[in-house]
Structure 1
Amino acid sequence: MTGTAADGTRNGFSWGHSALEAEFATASDGTLRLVRLGGGPAPGDLEAALPLVELIALGHGSGWSGPRFTGTALGTRLRHRGHRSGTRAGWEWLTVELDDPLTGLTASVELSSPTGLPVLRSRVRLRNDGTEPLVVQSVSSLLLGGLPSPDTLDVHRARNDWLAECRWYAEPLRAAVADINAGAHQHDSRAALTLVGRGSWPTDGHLPMGALTERGGAGRAWVWQVESPAGWRWDLGERAHGTYLALNGPTDAEHQWRVRLGPREEFTTVPGVLAWGSGLDAALGALTSYRRAVRRPHPDHTTLPVVFNDYMNTLMGDPTTEKLLPLIDAAAEAGAEYFCIDSGWYDDTQGWWDSVGEWLPSARRFPDGGIVRVLDRIRERGMVPGLWLEPEVVGVRSPVAAALPPEAFFQRDGVRLAEQGRHQLDLRHPAARAHLDKTVDRIVGDWGVGYLKLDYNIVVSPGTQAPGDLAPGAGLLGHAQAYLEWLSEVLDRHPGLVIENCASGGMRMDGATLAVTQLQSTSDQQDPLRYPPIAAAAPSAVPPEQSAVWAYPQPEFDDDLIAFTLGGALLGRIHLSGHLDRMSQRQLGLVRDAVATYKAIRGDLARAVPFWPLGLPGWTDEWVALGMRVPDGPSYVLVWRRDGEGGTAGRSELHLEVGDLTGGKVHTEILHPSAPGAASAVWDGDALRVSLPRTPGVLLIRLASGA
């Protein structure tokens, strides 16, 4: 793999596989740079590429001032010491060793890629091989220069708010990074488009993702994610007439994050991931396949059981034996395979928010046999019982708050933090872990619960400063990583357990957590008419088999709204709710039909990649569409129509392009609703013609080529 770079620079080498071609070369300042990635040519100017690592440490600042994470003093001093590569378990990997002769700092750039996928994963391991401590204030996870000019690119971001998740929007990159005529100034612009996520809800505000798409020409696209369970940032800017991308975990400036590396001490960044393809759908599809490759294996990812949860628009945190027993029977009759009792099962005081922490069942809510009687009823009806838990919080009135040592909780300046009447456990402390281990082993081991919905409903920012933490952002990242380690240990002890990740819906929808847990809550949205854009865009952040979408039909709904509410979950993980026990047999039959349809296609969803025939949806669009393409199999298209806005507003019929099927013979079949009425879906040779005369309306269509 050693050799000469494409432009003739000495000390170059290449690495990769059939879908990833990476080329490295040494620039005039002596730094090693990634000069080509993918199938495109090397940048015309080697200086457009970036050093492999940029970092800031106290006493070693930036090379120049500004918001960009480039041109750091330490980054320009790191020299290539060697590299090694190999193949392991379906992954190609490369480790590049860099060192700074002045401080003795070693930076190991750890690159990896699933064989055959156009995806690059990068993280940096720092080791202080010097004799003096070094305080690191920021360090890159992945850097890439030499992308096309900002003149030709649109940048895409995804707002992610409570009840309004995964709202992608786009604008020309030039709108944020102005053309200053760099030639006239003999200097690049200092401008950067920067996006930052803060606090213990890492996806509150925006997803830790972004994308660039090229207008005209090849129509290439690049999509990235920062896999941080705490703080993160990324920035884009212009460099040598091209575009650069910098991905980072938490930093001192944005997150109060710093670490002190004494001699022989190490720190490893969160991973940064980049996928690319010919168009946004292709790049997001590659990222979907990568997410499957990197996550913890679990049977749930292929079996996709139907979950009933009693919360949303149903019991709303007020479960009792009397209310649950008829719901359990109705859920079983509808075809559910798991039944999760949501929040409130521990509430014996009618004021549980600031008293939680012991996680013992309420005797008031569950008389005559207690909660075990209800769990047994779930099993008797052929379902796996589940419970809601918010493990990281302890109410200020809880006995646990006094029983655990002060060091087991988040703190600042020696003061235990309180947020909304709750303390936050620090999972780095053995007493905090022991408390949660005892809780989970009782619930799962003794009670036989097979599903845990783990929620998290407070935000702590910037973090905690326990003894040994140099800054609160470092404490927050340390806790968040310890929490994921704890989850992995729980799954090691209970390998059949299924864990749903929730934080007031999608406020923890980050790649690090998705790699450990089996399901991801997409939203707490209670309005079925506002859920479609969330459900349609969720596969941009979560593989469909992990994407939990609520389906909460109600007995007061008409048939169209029941079908609409159920249909929105059929290309994800259907999370059934609603007062099924109050439905007529005809209405319950509609629910059974939808669940049966889901069970018939879920095996395909476990390996499908998403596409968007109308593009990623707008929040108020009248028409919304999501597709799933199965390798060597059919495609599925889910289409919603509601009262809304956008260029398709007021039209009862649309043509949807399904690019890989254009021009071929395609058989269409409406799978949902079972009685579509006047709605129709016909392949006209070039596109899918869909008619939905009434709103709200939904169709799930299967397309099989060659029929």
Structure 2
Amino acid sequence: MTEPLTPITSWGPEALTLHLAHGADLVPRLAVNAAPGRAALPLVEVELAGQGRSGTSGKRHVDGAVSRRLRYDGHDADGERLTVRTRDPETGLRAATHFRRTGTLPTVSTWTELTAGDRTADIENVSSLVLSGVAALLGAPGRWERDVRLWTADNPWSGEYRWQGVPLGAAGLIDTGMTRFGQTGSKNRVARTSTGSWPSSEQLPMGWLAGPDAVLAWQIEHNGSWHTEIADRFDEIYLLLSGPGRREHQWSVRLAPGESFTTVPVTFTLAPGRDAALAALTGHRRAVRRPHPDTTELPVVFNDFMNCLMGDPTTEKLLPLVAAAAAAGCEYFCVDAGWYDDERAGDGPGGVPGWWDAVGAWEPAPSRFPGGLAEVTDAIKAAGMIPGLWLEPEVVGVRSPLAASLPDEAFFRRDGTRITEWGRHQLDLRHPAAVAHLDDTVDRLVGEFGLGYLKLDYNIDIGAGTDSGPHGPGHGLLEHNRAYLRWLDGVHDRHPGLVLEGCAAGGMRIDHATLAHVPVQSLSDQQDELLIAAIAAAAPTAVPPEQGAVWAYPYAGQSDEEIAFTMVSALLGRVHLSGRIDLLAPDQLALVAEALTAYGGYRRELARALPSWPLGLPGWRDDWLALALDTGTETLLAVWRRTGADAVREIPVPAGTRAVVPVFPRGAPGEAVLDRETGRLRITLPSAPSARLLRLPRAVSPLS
């Protein structure tokens, strides 16, 4: 489009001002901090069955024929919200695209609501955000192939938060030179997509584009399937974000006249650099998260699973752990998996316990607790801690009585056949019988044992979706995803003090819908203390520090440096202590207690702290790692030396840093010397592995 555009409105934070305009076709187009130009796309991209692209072809989800017909139909705006209405005169389809600010932060959240006109609309894809002009926005007009880098995070099981940045050209998006011959671009794209009920099992549903002048970062706020697309159009690049679609996720929805569908929300920010962009997203995550006292108090949890009982709890094994956890300073004690297993059947397929395909009733196993589970939970209370239990609420084992007693419609099915995944069936929380079963289970356990904590795990990925009438199976999954979030809210409403920990085989559900509904989120299942350090250091890119649960698992036979190393990994997040601490020598347990005492002195500050990475984002095999949390008046700095011969490292520190104060461990070998003139900290750690937590007081926050 080359004709002059008519402005519609300008709205949003000063650093992220949205400009909307339309041409003679009356189709609104969006740009940030500048008027929409030649490459600008329609405000929302919609695909209806039988109606594809116009003027080009390929796998991209832009240039749709319907999108080019969505005419401006008015807008409403105030300081906090903007809604733009459009309408397709051919089908009568209406779209209301919403934008919302998060307080004074430079963030905007957006989603679209589609409503069918006087005839049925079969929707196959709809964007949550489509933004053009990104290269100019980032300071790289005409140079995006080389000067714009795409940052995304691989997120394999037990190797989460692996950030990598590559120039768009190296990612596969190049300027083919065809725009000067009248073409729109290369027809190519760089796509990141996830299909199924583990939204972060391969990559995190977030990322950023970094250019010479700015960083554009985003997150997709959905606990199921999602899609990100970056591509060239004319002399520019665009970013498209969405939930599920037909091609990638087997999603579609049929809207009868007057019916509506709302896309998944996404949030984006524009900032001068990476750390400022992630600080803005961190602030947004806190603002939209359901309030809970847990995220301000940050109590220490002992969990008996990791490198400890590993799914085999008994009264005999638990009582010594209860005593040791209380002595160390823990405030919650969570009995993890296996407490319901009366078969004691040994290993099953995939190295899991024999109870794997029999779960669902969630009744304590008498053979494990001869005096009843209450003997253990009462001992936890008597020791001054609050008891908790592990649950995997969304699944029912194929051998569980529940598999026969619940109706077929309460489970995921495809073509009428119930789906089995690794010995489990998936409950469909759209069905009232499934919800009633889970509500009864939670209410019974909380009431009978006085629980204050539930760890909610989820160890299968059920795939594209489930039967859902005239809609695609992906729509059944999306509706279940939304029902799961409503169920979480219902549990909190009935039990306001109950702490719910989100978990999905560790970090397979690190999404910003789930994170808005639980106060604690498990970050990983990693069992190696050297490797979990990299996970802990990188996790605040995606999870606020006060919400991210990090395992610390000291064990007998470790040196003091090794115990300090595993403890430091948890001290800038939520401490989830585990390991056979009942077997530690008294001086070793005292070192663990020292770490938890130090944590108690600053943990409430983590709820407002903003992360940065003075040595860069952690590499999986890096010898040295560093994570800094800015609390407003000081920096808490964790430094790990994992391997390598170099015992000395220089680390840049925030301007105005005036001292270095050891936090944990105190009196350990090595030194940390501040050079105030150069703004660098020279730290010496004589042995590897070793780690230190330091406090760097200063006058002003560089991120404030």
Q: Same fold (TM over 0.5)?
A: yes
Q: 2:176 maps to which residue?
A: 180
1:228 Cα deviation after fit: 1.4
1:671 maps to 663
- Aligned-residue Cα RMSD (Å) equals 1.5
Contact 1:18/1:116, CA 8 A, preserved across alignment:
no
In structure 2, what is the equivalent of residue 165 of structure 1? Answer: 160
- Counting only pairs closer than 5 Å after superposition, residues 273-292 of structure 1 correspond to structure 2 as 273-292=267-286
Structure 1 counterpart of 2:10: 14
Q: Which residue of 1 aligns with 2:311?
A: 317
Counterpart Cα distance in 1 of 2:471 and 2:13: 41
For residue 447 of structure 1, what is the aligned residue in structure 2? 449
Does structure 1 retain, via aligned residues, the 8 Å contact 2:252–2:472?
yes
Give me the whole-angstrom Cα distance separating, in 2, the residues matched to 1:8 and 1:655: 54
Q: Please name the residue that 1:680 is paired with.
A: 672
Q: Is the 8 A contact 1:57 1:137 kept in 2?
A: yes
After the TM superposition, which residues 452-471 of structure 1 pair with which residues of structure 2 at under 5 Å, given as runs? 452-466=454-468, 468=469, 470-471=471-472
Q: Partner amino acid for 1:367?
A: P
Check conservation: 1:27, 1:46, Cα contact below 8 A.
Answer: no
Contact 2:522-2:548 within 8 A present in 1 as well: yes
Q: Kindly indicate whether the alpha-carbon contact (under 8 Å) linking 1:668 and 1:683 is maintained by their aligned counterparts in 2.
A: no
Tell me what 1:46 maps to: 37
Q: Please state if 1:653 is matched with 2:648.
A: yes
- 3-state SS in 2 of match to 1:482: helix
- 1:613 and 1:562, CA in 2 relative to 1: closer, same or farther beyond 3 A? same
Counterpart position of 2:349: none
Shift of 1:349: 0.6
Question: Any idea what SS the aligned residue of 1:426 has?
Answer: coil
Q: 2:558 & 2:585 partners in 1: Cα distance?
A: 11
- Structure 1 CA distance for aligned equivalents of residues 275 and 211 of structure 2: 13
Structure 1 equivalent of residue 190 of structure 2 = 193
Q: Judge which range, 45-54 or 419-428, deviates more.
A: 45-54
Residue 121 of structure 2: aligned partner: 134
1:4 corresponds to: none
Match in the other structure for 1:357: 360
1:79 to 54, 61, 71: 71
- Is the Cα–Cα contact under 8 Å of residues 666 and 683 in structure 1 kept in the other structure? no
Report how far residue 681 of structure 1 moved. Answer: 4.2
* 1:636 partner amino acid: L
Structure 1 equivalent of residue 103 of structure 2: 115
Aligned equivalents of 2:195 and 2:233: distance in 1? Answer: 27
Q: Given residue 363 of structure 2, which amino acid in structure 1 is its aligned partner?
A: L
Residue identity in the other structure for 2:298: L
Instruction: Identify which of 29, 33, 36 aligns with 1:33.
Output: 29
The one-letter code sitting in structure 2 at the alignment partner of 1:426 is D
For the residue of structure 2 that corresponds to 1:420, the secondary structure is coil
For residues 290-329 of structure 1, the aligned pairs below 5 Å read 290-329=284-323
State the secondary structure of the residue aligned to 2:670: coil
| Letter paired with 2:122 | V
Alignment partners' CA distance in 1, 2:88 and 2:4 = 25
- Give TM-score, length-normalised by structure 2: 0.94
SS in 1 for 2:377: helix
1:315-464 map, 5 Å: 315-350=309-344, 351-368=354-371, 370-464=372-466
1:214 maps to 211
Paired residue total: 677
Paired residue type of 2:539: A
1:595-610 counterparts in 2 under 5 A?
595-610=596-611
Residue 8 of structure 1 and its aligned partner are, at CA, apart by 7.2
Provide the rounded CA distance (Å) in 1 between the counterparts of 2:93 and 2:447. 47
TM-fit CA distance, 1:706:
4.4
Q: How many Å separate the matches in 2 of 1:105 and 1:55?
A: 10
- Give the secondary structure class of the aligned counterpart of 1:95: strand
CA–CA separation in structure 2 for the residues paired with 1:610 and 1:536: 10
| Residue identity opposite 2:29 in structure 1 | R
1:314-369: CA deviations, max 9, x gaps? Answer: 0000000000011001101101011000000000012311111000000000012x
Find the aligned partners of 1:601 and 1:8 in 2 and give their Cα distance.
57
Deviation at 1:185, TM superposition (A): 2.4
User: Over residues 416-467 of structure 1, what are the superposed CA-to-partner deviations in whole Å (9 max), with x where a residue is unaligned?
Assistant: 111111111000000000111100000112321110100001111111114x
The equivalent residue for 1:55 is 46
Query: Partner of 1:503 in structure 2?
Result: 504
2:697 to 695, 701, 704: 704
Q: Which residue in 2 is equivalent to 1:69?
A: 61
Decide whether the 8 Å contact of 2:16 with 2:32 is kept in 1: no
User: In the aligned structure 2, how far is the partner of 1:701 from the partner of 1:33?
Assistant: 49
Equivalent residue of 2:505, what SS?
Answer: coil
The structural deviation recorded for 1:79 is: 1.1
Deviation, structure 1 residue 303: 0.6
The aligned residue for residue 543 of structure 2 is 542
Runs of 4+ in 1 over 3 A off after TM superposition: 17-20
Instruction: Please name the residue that 1:144 is paired with.
Output: 131
Residues 472, 575 of structure 1: alpha-carbon distance in 2 compared, 3 angstrom cutoff: same
Counterparts of 1:517 and 1:603 in 2: how far apart (Å)? Answer: 18
Contact 1:318 1:343 in 2 (8 A): yes
Shift of 1:605: 0.5
Counterpart of 2:554?
553
- 1:691 aligned onto 2:679: no
The residue identity in structure 1 corresponding to 2:99 is L
Amino acid at match of 1:380: A
Distance in 2 of aligned mates of 1:362 and 1:475: 35
- Paired residue secondary structure (1:538): helix
- Counterparts of 1:398 and 1:9, CA distance in 2: 63
Q: Deviations over 1:501-534 (max 9, x none)?
A: 1110000010010000111111000000111111
For 1:308 and 1:582, the matched residues in 2 are separated by: 15
Q: Percent identity?
A: 50
- Asked if structure 2 preserves the Cα contact closer than 8 Å seen for 1:553 and 1:578, the reply is yes
- Relative to structure 1, is the Cα distance of residues 706 and 533 closer, same or farther in structure 2, using a 3 angstrom cutoff? same
| Partner in structure 2 of residue 93 of structure 1 | 81
- Structure 1 residues 523, 358: CA separation in 2 closer, same or farther (over 3 Å shift)? same
SS at match of 2:160: strand
Alpha-carbon shift at residue 665 of structure 1 (Å): 5.0
Cα offset, 1:675, TM superposition: 2.4
Any conservation in 2 of the 1:228–1:270 contact (CA below 8 Å)? yes
Partner of 2:629: 628
Are 1:123 and 1:142, in contact at CA under 8 Å, matched by a contact in 2? yes
1:89-146 deviation digits (Å, cap 9, x = unpaired): xxx1111111111111111101111121111111111111x22111100100011111
2:201 is matched with 204
Normalised by the length of structure 1, the TM-score is 0.94
Residues 665 and 428 of structure 1: is their aligned pair in 2 closer, same or farther, counting only changes over 3 Å?
A: closer
2:248 corresponds to which residue?
254
Q: The residue matched to 2:17 in structure 1 has which SS?
A: strand
Deviations 1:178-197 (A, max 9, x none): 11113432222211100001
Q: Is the 8 A contact 1:19 1:116 kept in 2?
A: no
The C-alpha deviation readout for 1:450-506, integer Å capped at 9, x for no partner, is 10100001111111114x252111111111111111111110111101111111000
Deviation of 1:19 after TM superposition, in Å, equals 4.5
Report Cα offsets for 1:370-410 as digits up to 9, x if no partner.
00111111111111111000001101111111111111111
Matches within 5 A, 1:507-518: 507-518=508-519
Q: Which residue of 2 aligns with 1:619?
A: 620
How far the C-alpha of 1:622 sits from its partner, in A, is: 0.5
Q: Which runs of 5+ in 1 are unaligned?
A: 1-6, 644-648
- Counterparts in 2 of 1:243 and 1:513: CA distance versus 1, 3 Å: same
What one-letter code is carried by the residue in structure 1 that aligns with 2:131?
A: L
Relative distance call for 1:665 and 1:462 in structure 2 (3 A) is closer
CA distance in 1, matches of 2:672, 2:505: 37
Alignment of 1:260-275 (within 5 A): 260-275=254-269
